[in-house]
Structures are given as structure tokens and as C-alpha cells.
């Protein structure tokens, strides 16, 4: 770990002290599955098989015909192996060629990573976000992955989808590494861990295994909800996964690795942001069982930025353009003040250009607009704190006909029924829906109670308080005709 000069240490400590004074906690991103190929460890490791860091990475001999050791693929395209002529072996890289995979079966490597964690914890950091934990360990026998039949028998632009990833990742021994990390964290009370789990099948089951009990991590999120469609069946499956009582999930609908949710899932296919639909995404995510990760700009309703090819930075996007435009559109500057240069993000030239569409959605403009997304987020979050069932309660899906979906959040003391209208048309609900329940107000969604019963506007949500002991297991909801 490179040393930090005393002045830098003072600056970091001062910054964290200021954050803590404001009631904020800071998590530091930790990439413990790989390093740069310019890292001193790797430079040493690749020089020869007999040096101090020789087995700190994953090395393997070529097959007799000179091809890589097996058929594993990089998540970013092409083989997951790269030839190193100085060592006369292949090294494994799950992502970019410049990101060699660390050998976490080597005790010296794990000890060094834990020491790095200790370095930051000693300086006051509140926890870690752990990158790509599904890739930490793999089959030590380096067996080939079986083929995966692509949907519709169409070859995808990303060849990674043509394999069942049962040997190159997802190894059950990863829990031993996670346990070591938890042991470190427990020496620092009040600190936490947030793990990133891949979108491979069984993601929520893995979240349960990675976070259950007191010996694993505190919480984990998966990219699975950040991909694919937002139709009724997809959300129904999401609710079924959200009801998993094992462990503790963290929810993320937008992310630095995917298109922004309001664009990706928009009924207009991202052509414009529908404010009602954006509020539905907000209300759903903040009503699920688990913690919530709000991605920068999500609370502003930012659409995915348009980044011209000449301004792209993401190697993944550059390689696959135009079939895949990469991740730069989710990584552009945050618009703070509309009238400032670069919308107040920087006084210099940012790494990625500011999307002009984002300027009108800046924080300063939304702060004074009672109809803005920022206002809606703040209103709903404040209201949510008044209802512990939405924060701590179990989640059980409730039967509802299309286009509706419903679920219940319950503790021993209270129960809240949540109903979503996934349609762009208003829906009336039959009177028996709210039998024994009391509609809740103050959450910021449109009023839903009228003389002829409850009515949900387009992309609307209903919240109703129930007696926990008498909450029915399911209700029949009648959409308007």
C-alpha cells in the first residue's frame, strides 16, 4: 500500500470529520479481485515464476497447441487469458486485459488486502463497497465452462453470454474470504460492508448466503434489477426475490455500469423521461425490503446522457460501439447549479462532457420547485421514516390482476399494503381492497381515495395501513373497465 503523506492524511481526516458532522458516512470502494497490470505486485509476478509475488495472480501454462488454458471468457469480450512472454504463461483477467485477477487462495494476498482495509478503517472510513465479489474465486482445476444456448439462437454482441459461468466465478469458497473481511470489520464497531453481486442466475440466493448471520457481509446488491425490461412479469419476479427472508439486500435501480433506470425502463424507450414513471421507480425501490443505494442524479430524474463517440472514455463502450454505447452515459457530471460553468461540477474540464439536457434538472432549480423529482424524493423519504414497516418489515407479494402488482410490508406492530399501477392509464380498485385498511397520505403520490373507492392514476402507487394481525394473505383487485 503506497504511503500517504501527513498533509494528505490531514486533508482526508478533515474531510471525513466534516462529513460526520453533517450526519454523513463514507464508504470507500475496494477492488479486491484484481489490480492494474502496472501495479508493483503484478510487475514482480510476471517477471518470473520464482519471485516474491509469483503466485499472487492466476497463472497457467498454455495447452499443447499454444491456446489458452481453458475456454473462459472476459466479461468485456474475448478470452479471459492473456499471454505473458516474460513468464511464458497466461494470466487470468475477468475484465480488461489490463486488470489481472488476484489469487485470493493465497494467504499472503488476503492478508495484504485486509491490511489495506485496516489502513482505511484506522483513518475513519465507515465501511467498504466491495466490487464484483462473484469473481473473487473460481474452480482451481480451471475446467471449461459449458456452453449456454443464446435466446432465440441469435449470437449476442457480448460473447460472455454464450457460456454457463459455473467454473470461472461463483465458487462457494468465496464465503471463507467474506468471513475474513467480516472479522476485520467487527474489530471496528459501526462500520459496514456493501458487496456487488453479479446478475448471473441465482443472484438473490447468493445475496442471502453472502449476508446471512453474523459471519458474512452486512449487505449486498445485484445488477440484476438494473438490467432488462420493466414489464409486469419482471417486476413480479423482483417482488418474489425481494421477499427472500435470508440476509439483507441493498437495492440499486441505476448504477455506474448500466443505463440510467428512467431511460432504460422508460415506456418511451428512453426518448424522454416520464415524470410519473420516474416516481413509480422511486416509490417501488424505497418500499422494498432492504437498504437503498441511490445513484448520483437519480434523485434528479436524470436521463442517460448522450456521449458522442469522440468523447467516450469507457473501453467497454468503445470496443462495442455502436451496438453497445458503453457506460459513459451514466457517468457524466452531476448538475449542481444551472448558471455556473459545467453546472457547478468543476471549474476545469470534466472527464466526460455535461449533457445539456441535464442543466435544466440541476439541484438548485429543483430545490425551489415543489413539483420536481428532488422534492418528491425528499418528501417520500421523510414520510417513509414514519412507517417502520416499510424499513424493517417482511415483504410478502399479494395477488393482483394486470396491470396491478401488490405486496405487503409487515412487522409485529404494523402492516402496510403497497399497490402499484404499471399502466399508463388510470385504474380503479374495487372497494374490498381497502376493507379493514386505512389509506395513508403524505407520501407525495396523488390522492387515491374517492367516493367510488380507490383509484390509482397512471403509474400511481397506493399505501394503506393494516392491522398486522388481521392482514389478509391476498386480495382480489378489480381494475377499472
DSSP labels, 191-225: -EEEEEE-SSTTHHHHHHHHHSTTTS-SEEEESGG
Crossing angle (nearest 10°) for helices 107-122 and 174-186: 30
Contacts of 378 (CB under 8 A, 6+ apart): none
* DSSP 8-state class, residue 417: E
CB 114 within 8 A of CB 184: yes
C-alpha distances in Å from residue 267, one per residue of 197, 263, 324, 462? 27, 9, 20, 21
Residue 90's DSSP bridge partners are 60, 83
Calpha distance 129→17 (Å, rounded): 20
The number of C-alpha atoms within 13 Å of 394 and in the hemisphere containing its C-beta is: 12
As a whole number of angstroms, the distance between CA 476 and CA 89 comes to 63
pLDDT tens column, 391-406? 999 999 998 888 999 9
Residues 373, 301: contact at Cβ < 8 Å? yes
Please give the pLDDT value at position 398.
92
DSSP 63: P
pLDDT in tens, 378-387: 999 999 999 9
CA 360 to chain centre: 26
- Residues forming beta bridges with residue 450, ordered by sequence position: 453
* Domains detected in the chain: 6-33+106-382 (3.20.20.80), 395-470 (2.60.40.1180)
pLDDT 10s digits, 427-476: 988 666 667 788 899 999 986 666 666 789 999 999 999 975 444 444 43
HSE-CB at 272 with a 13 A cutoff on CA atoms is 3
> What single string gives the DSSP state of each residue in 299-342?
GGTPPPPP--GGG---HHHHHHTTTS--SGGGSSPP---TTSGG
Local confidence pLDDT in tens for the 481 residues of the chain? 344 444 455 466 677 888 999 999 999 999 999 999 999 999 999 999 999 999 999 999 999 999 999 999 999 989 999 999 999 999 999 999 999 999 999 999 999 999 999 999 999 999 999 999 999 999 999 999 999 998 888 898 889 999 999 999 999 999 999 999 999 999 999 999 999 999 999 999 999 999 999 999 999 999 888 787 789 999 999 999 999 999 999 999 999 999 999 998 776 665 578 999 999 999 999 999 999 999 999 999 999 999 999 999 999 999 989 988 899 999 999 999 999 999 999 999 999 999 999 999 999 999 999 999 999 999 999 999 999 999 999 999 998 888 999 999 999 999 999 999 999 999 988 666 667 788 899 999 986 666 666 789 999 999 999 975 444 444 434 444 3
Amino acid at each position: 500500500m503506497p504511503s500517504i503523506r501527513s498533509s494528505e492524511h490531514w486533508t482526508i481526516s478533515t474531510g471525513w470529520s466534516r462529513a460526520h458532522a453533517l450526519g454523513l458516512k463514507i464508504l470507500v470502494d475496494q477492488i479486491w479481485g484484481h489490480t492494474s497490470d502496472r501495479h508493483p505486485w503484478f510487475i514482480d509476478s510476471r517477471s518470473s515464476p520464482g519471485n516474491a509475488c509469483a503466485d499472487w495472480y492466476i497463472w497457467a501454462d498454455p495447452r499443447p497447441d499454444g491456446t489458452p488454458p481453458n475456454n473462459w471468457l472476459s466479461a468485456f469480450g474475448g478470452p479471459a487469458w492473456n499471454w505473458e512472454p516474460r513468464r511464458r504463461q497466461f494470466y487470468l483477467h475477468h475484465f480488461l486485459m489490463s486488470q489481472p485477477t488476484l489469487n485470493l487462495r493465497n494467504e499472503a494476498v488476503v492478508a495484504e488486502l485486509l491490511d489495506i482495509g485496516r489502513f482505511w478503517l484506522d483513518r475513519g472510513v465507515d465501511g467498504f463497497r466491495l466490487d464484483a465479489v462473484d469473481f473473487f474465486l473460481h474452480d482451481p482445476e480451471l475446467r471449461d465452462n459449458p456452453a449456454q444456448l443464446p435466446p432465440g439462437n441469435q449470437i449476442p454482441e457480448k460473447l460472455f453470454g454464450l457460456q454457463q459461468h459455473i467454473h470461472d466465478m461463483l465458487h462457494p469458497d468465496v464465503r471463507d474470504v467474506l468471513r475474513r473481511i467480516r472479522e476485520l470489520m467487527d474489530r471496528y464497531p459501526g462500520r459496514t460492508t456493501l458487496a456487488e453481486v453479479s446478475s448471473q442466475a441465482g443472484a438473490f440466493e447468493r445475496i442471502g448466503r453472502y449476508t446471512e448471520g453474523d459471519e458474512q457481509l452486512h449487505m449486498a446488491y445485484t445488477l440484476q434489477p438494473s438490467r432488462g425490461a420493466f414489464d409486469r412479469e419482471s417486476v413480479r419476479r423482483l417482488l418474489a426475490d425481494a421477499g427472500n427472508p435470508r440476509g439483507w439486500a441493498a437495492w440499486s435501480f441505476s448504477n455506474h455500469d448500466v443505463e440510467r433506470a428512467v431511460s432504460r425502463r422508460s415506456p418511451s424507450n428512453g426518448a424522454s423521461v416520464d415524470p410519473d414513471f420516474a416516481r413509480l421507480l422511486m416509490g417501488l425501490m424505497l418500499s422494498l425490503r432492504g437498504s437503498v443505494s441511490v445513484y448520483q442524479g437519480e434523485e434528479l430524474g436524470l436521463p442517460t446522457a448522450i456521449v458522442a463517440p469522440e468523447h467516450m472514455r469507457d473501453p467497454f463502450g468503445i470496443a462495442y460501439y455502436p451496438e453497445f454505447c458503453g457506460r459513459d452515459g451514466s457517468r457524466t457530471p452531476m448538475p449542481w447549479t444551472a448558471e455556473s460553468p459545467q453546472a457547478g461540477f468543476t471549474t476545469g474540464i470534466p472527464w466526460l462532457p455535461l449533457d445539456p439536457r441535464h442543466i435544466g434538472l440541476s439541484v438548485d432549480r429543483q430545490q425551489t420547485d415543489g413539483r420536481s423529482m428532488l422534492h418528491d424524493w425528499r418528501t417520500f423519504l421523510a414520510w417513509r421514516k414514519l412507517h417502520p414497516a416499510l424499513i424493517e418489515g417482511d415483504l410478502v407479494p399479494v395477488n393482483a390482476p394486470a396491470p396491478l402488482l401488490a405486496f405487503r410490508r409487515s412487522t409485529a406492530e404494523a402492516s402496510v399494503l403497497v399497490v402499484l399501477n404499471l399502466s399508463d392509464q388510470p385504474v380503479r380498485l374495487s372497494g374490498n381492497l381497502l376493507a379493514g385498511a386505512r389509506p395513508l397520505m403524505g407520501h407525495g403520490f396523488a390522492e387515491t381515495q374517492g367516493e367510488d373507492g380507490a383509484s390509482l392514476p397512471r403509474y400511481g402507487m397506493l399505501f394503506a395501513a393494516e392491522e398486522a394481525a388481521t392482514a389478509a394473505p391476498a386480495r382480489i383487485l378489480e381494475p377499472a373497465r
